[in-house]
Structure 1
Amino acid sequence: MIQILVADGNVAEARREHVRATGETSAEAYAALLAELAPDAACTILEPADTGAALPAGADLAGFDGVVFTGSQLHVSDDSEPVRRQRALMRTALEAGLPVFGSCWGVQLAAAAAGGSAGPNPRGPEYGFARRLVPTGPGREHPLLAGRPPTWDAPAMHLDAVLEPPPGAEVLAGNGLLDVQALALRLGAGTFWGTQYHPELDFGALSAMLRLSEPDILKSGLCRDGAALTAYADEVGLLGSGDRPDLAWRHGLGPEVLEAPRRRREIGNFLAHLVRPRAARR
């Protein structure tokens, strides 16, 4: 049995909002996905944004084989108490030698914890899908991206991004809107792998998150009005049926997004290359 700690990046009200929109928290969705990818995984959910958040009685970080950080509505640059608590958890986990994965908020948090910076992307947000992702030189050989083609698309939902990678970090992928779409770094004895895009999201969750982000999407000018956004979100949700080649064609999406094993590739690679080897050594 492998033991994975899933750290929900949201504060309590944002978690409730996420449940109203999708039926579960980000951490619950991530834990379900991890159990699907690794049936022998036991996931413990932690809500480190909350005051007094703690591991279950008798548990400690050393007993986990990996940590996963979800997305969040928080902003690393705000440096609020919920942000500081999560940054401290990231540092503690890595300095304890744990493998850590994070998507979106998670990669920004790791970069900040290791001495980099994150904030609003001056080239603009990505809502729906990050397009034409390409590996860097180091990324072409890195196990995080093993199996990815020379270019791919992925679910994405972000205003903020890693603006300055920390010293010694490897930037593994980017695209025309953002130089840091995938990142690897070491801190203490630990290893972090992460993506700015969301390999964990299915189309239903992505559709719901688009609706939640309506004010920011309209402000960005990516949709003309609420009706246009609703129509787009509806079509994204329908992509999950697996039987809408018309919508896949309309949105220019291929198997790297449409097929779940390919869409989730980075998470599977993290489990195979970092989590399982640690579990085998314990």
Structure 2
Amino acid sequence: MLRLLIADGNDRAGRAHRVAIAGRTTADAYAGVVADLMPHAVCVTVNPADADAALPEGAGLGDFDGLILTGSSLRVGDGTPAVRRQLDLMRATFEAGLPSFGSCWGMQVAAVVAGGEAGRNPRGPEYGFARRIVATPEGRAHPLLAGRAPAWDAPAIHLDAVLAAPPGSVVLAENAVLDVQAIAIRYRGGLFQGTQYHPETDLDELAATLGASADDVIAAGLAPDAAAVEAHCAEIAALHAAPEAERRAAAWRLGLGPDVLEARCRRLEIANFLENLSKGTASPRAAATGWRVDRAGNGPSFALAGRHGSEYRSP
């Protein structure tokens, strides 16, 4: 039975906003996907952006088989305490040898910790769907993308992205907008795998999140006004709710195929990550690791015990 730590990338305000527009937090959404894919897995959620964040009493990173870091409305480049605390968590995760997965924000955090660069994508944002993603030669043989077609679309909402992959990483997928759509990062004994797109996001949540980003969509020149964004979001939401007999026509209008419409296809990277974890092929279980709140400082510290005798503290 897998034990997974799901770290919500949003701060308190971001989590409240996400609940208001989509009905649940990003961590809860991921936990729901994990429950569908692997019903016997145990998920524990944590909010590492918060200064008082902590694991359940007596638990450490070494008590988990893997970590998932969700998307977020934060930006790595802002360097706020909420950002630094999450960089610390990812650094501790690498140090502990704990396998990890993340989408969007999660991938950016992992790349920056390992020596890469994340920031505003000079080729523009992706709002709604990342189109024509293709595996790199290395990605075609990588277990994270096992089962992917030669090209696919996926839910995506982002301004920032990984602009420079960290040393020693392997870029697994790309498209015309972004050179790093999926990546595998080995760093300090740990392995992170993730995507810039959102394999965890269902179409109803995508429509809600996209609608809340209407100003950014307009500013990017992708829609003339709020009414156009609203109409597009309504069409996505209608596709989610459409009976089977009507889905084909609705999907045709949006140019979408089974890679987005079918949950088993849309969630493929998460399913592959979990399957490799369950087989024990992702990496060895982490060394015994503790994560505690630094009551005297400005946030959580990630104290590593066992094979790594070091500590990272939020500045």
- Normalising by structure 1, we get a TM-score of 0.97
Alignment check: 8 A CA contact 2:97 2:284 kept: no
Q: Taking structure 1 as reference, are residues 87 and 194 closer, same or farther at Cα in structure 2, changes over 3 Å only?
A: same
| Gaps in structure 2 of 5+ consecutive residues | 286-315
**Correspondence 1:62 to 2:65:** no
The residue aligned with 1:197 is: 197
Per-residue deviation at 1:279?
10
Cα distance in 2 for partners of 1:194, 1:263 equals 14
1:47-96 CA-to-partner distances (Å, cap 9, x unmatched) read 00001211010111001000001000000111111111001100101110
Amino acid at match of 2:214: E
Q: Which residue of 2 aligns with 1:180?
A: 180
Alignment partner, residue 128 of structure 1: 128
Displacement of 1:275 in angstroms is 4.8
SS at match of 1:272: helix
How far residue 251 of structure 1 moved from its aligned partner, in angstroms, is 1.1
Which of structures 1 and 2 has the larger relative contact order (alpha carbons within 8 angstroms, sep 6+)? 2
What CA distance in whole angstroms lies between the structure 2 residues aligned with 1:239 and 1:89? 37
Task: Give 1:44 deviation, angstroms.
Answer: 0.5
Q: Note the C-alpha offset of 1:245.
A: 1.4
- Pairing partner for 1:268 from 267, 271, 278: 271
Aligned AA (1:5): L
C-alpha separation between the residues in 1 aligned to 2:216 and 2:191? 33
Q: Does 1:96 align with 2:63?
A: no
**Whole-angstrom CA distance in 2 between matches of 1:157 and 1:13:** 19
TM-score by length of 2: 0.87
Which one-letter code corresponds to 1:201 in the other structure?
Answer: T
More helix by share: 1
How far off its partner does 1:121 sit?
A: 0.3
**Could you say if the C-alpha distance between residues 62 and 253 of structure 1 is closer, same or farther in structure 2, counting changes exceeding 3 Å?**
same
Alpha-carbon shift at residue 157 of structure 1 (Å):
0.3
| RMSD of aligned alpha carbons | 1.4
Q: Which residue of 1 aligns with 2:292?
A: none
Structure-2 separation of matches of 1:66 and 1:101 = 8
Count of equivalent residues: 282
Deviation at 1:274, TM superposition (A): 3.0
Superposition deviation, residue 281 in structure 1: 7.0
Residue 153 of structure 1 pairs with residue 153 of structure 2: yes
Q: Which residue of 2 aligns with 1:251?
A: 254
Distance 1:70 1:31 in 2: 10
Structure 2 Cα separation of the partners of residues 70 and 235 of structure 1: 26
For 1:37, the equivalent position in structure 2 comes to 37
CA distance in structure 1 between the partners assigned to 2:93 and 2:67 by the alignment: 8
Give the drift of 1:187: 1.4
Letter in 2 for 1:262: C
CA distance change for structure 1 residues 40 and 280 in 2, over 3 Å: closer, same or farther? Answer: farther
- Structure 2 CA distance, aligned partners of 1:102 and 1:280? 16
Q: Deviations over 1:127-153 (max 9, x none)?
A: 000000000010010001000010000
Q: Which residue of 1 aligns with 2:304?
A: none
Task: State how far apart, in whole Å, the 2-side matches of 1:246 and 1:197 are.
Answer: 25
Shift of 1:276: 4.2
How big is the shift at 1:216?
0.7
Of residues 189-198 and 240-249 in structure 1, the stretch that sits farther from structure 2 once superposed is 240-249
* Residues 29 and 73 of structure 1: CA distance in aligned 2, closer, same or farther (over 3 Å): same
Q: CA deviation at 1:11?
A: 0.6
Flag the structure with larger Rg.
Answer: 2
